[in-house]
Amino acid sequence: MQIEKIYNNGQGDLSVRSFNICTQNGLYTLDDLREYLKNNKHFMKLKYCGIKSNKELFELLEK
């Protein structure tokens, strides 16, 4: 599923900051996020990603 669709669904599943982190780092789908997580164990290495965004992205993948 596209990250943009999740962001635009209006249910608050993804904050503006987390959406921007994903797009600025070339992560456009949930599969991209899963692959990144598989290789890096967390999202803190992404540019501008902090504790809250890291937690939010983990929660997004758990859904």
**Amino acid sitting at position 28:** Y
The answer, as to whether pTM is greater than 0.75, is: yes
- pLDDT tops 90 at residue 54: yes
Which of 39, 43, 38 has the alpha carbon at shortest distance from 17?
A: 43
pLDDT 10s digits, 22-38: 999 999 999 999 999 99
